[in-house]
Amino acid sequence: MDSVTLPIASQPLPPAGPVPLARLWEQVLEVPFFRGLLRAFEAHFFGMLRLPQPVLDLGCGDGQFAARAFPRPPEVGLDPWWPPLRETRRWNAYRYGAVCADGAAMPFPTDAFAAVVSNSVLEHIPHLDAVLAETARVLRPGGWLAFSVPNHRFEAYLSLALVAERLGLRPLARGYRGWFQRVSRHVHCDPPQVWLPRLERHGFRVWVWWHYFPRSALWALEWGHYLGLPSLVAKKLAGRWVLVSRRWNLAPVVAWLARFLRQAVDPEGAYTFYIAQRV
């Protein structure tokens, strides 16, 4: 897709060049390395946006991403789960706090927001059309929607499935892909050919979209789910993902991950970023 200059962006989009290494550092100091790698890309993209206020973070989780990615805190976060919402105060992520509610029944007036952001959330929602309809309701005409989601290449790129296919074990490959999608809680991993008409049905005009996160980076993400088990234990026992959050401790990991940051945009990437406007 050709680059587009939007009034809410600091440069023409899609962005050119690499993901800044600083974006990776700010993530891996706080979250597991495989999640930090993906979030570095997304924080780079969201950080380019100068969104009109007020802003709603749809599916905000614990607020860590919002605290690091946006030039200024969004006004409100929304998530259906209480446990992560309890941590939003720790991150001081939102100007007016976070709300526990389903995205299909938001407790906000019509036309309440000038922008809605959502980072790696919409792919998890079974009742996606209801959430998009509600998003259109709370977003004023002319308001902006920016979000990131995995696309149709996500499961196609999974390394263990590719190995199984090369060995002629196609049923095993299909089973692994289905299992990994369930573990990832993915319901919608769709291409733009599905997303664009879906958004149009709910009153959105898509201005620009781009793919990112190359296949090799997805392999790091995939294996990180297994190698990152100590981070899960640390979170359960100590309340944080990274026990020794120091640069000297994480420098070897960052040096390995830095190779994946060379190009922010990848036409064959496993994730897609969309910017749309409410008409």
On whether residue 15 sits in a domain, the answer given is no
Domain of 41, CATH number, reads: 3.40.50.150
Residue 1 pLDDT class (50, 70, 90 cuts): low
Dump pLDDT digits (tens) for 153-171. 999 999 999 999 999 999 9
4 strand-pairing partners: 13
Q: In sequence order, what E strands does the chain have?
A: 55-58, 76-79, 98-100, 113-119, 139-150, 204-212, 271-278
Mean pLDDT of the chain: 95
The DSSP output letter for 74 is: -
Residue 245: pLDDT over 90: no
Dump pLDDT digits (tens) for 68-86. 999 899 999 999 999 999 9
- In three-state secondary structure terms, 205 is strand
> Kindly report the CA angle at 207 between 261 and 10, in degrees rounded to 5?
55
On whether residue 123 sits in a domain, the answer given is yes
- CA nearest to 138, candidates 107, 97, 117, 98: 107
Read off the pLDDT of each residue in 23-35 and give the average, rounded to a whole number. Answer: 95
Q: What is the DSSP string of 109-139?
A: -TT-EEEEEEES-GGG-TTHHHHHHHHHHHE
On whether residue 217 sits in a domain, the answer given is yes
Residue 102 pLDDT class (50, 70, 90 cuts): very high
Measured between alpha carbons, how far is 204 from 182 in angstroms, rounded to an integer? 29
Read off the pLDDT of each residue in 200-208 and give the average, rounded to a whole number. Answer: 98
Please report the pLDDT score of residue 241 as a whole number: 76
Please report the pLDDT score of residue 13 as a whole number: 96
Q: What is the DSSP string of 160-193?
A: HHHHHHHTT-HHHHHHHHHHHHHHTT-S----HH
Read off the pLDDT of each residue in 138-146 and give the average, rounded to a whole number. Answer: 98
Contact yes or no for 31/250 (Cβ under 8 A):
no
- Which residue range forms the structural domain that includes residue 107? 21-278
Dump pLDDT digits (tens) for 207-243. 999 999 999 999 999 999 898 777 877 777 777 778 7
Residue 259 pLDDT class (50, 70, 90 cuts): very high
Domain count, the chain: 1
Please report the pLDDT score of residue 240 as a whole number: 77
Please report the pLDDT score of residue 16 as a whole number: 92
On whether residue 107 sits in a domain, the answer given is yes
pTM reported for the whole predicted model: 0.95
On whether residue 14 sits in a domain, the answer given is no
148 strand-pairing partners: 119, 273
On whether residue 3 sits in a domain, the answer given is no
| Percent of the chain topping pLDDT 70 | 100
On whether residue 28 sits in a domain, the answer given is yes
On whether residue 7 sits in a domain, the answer given is no
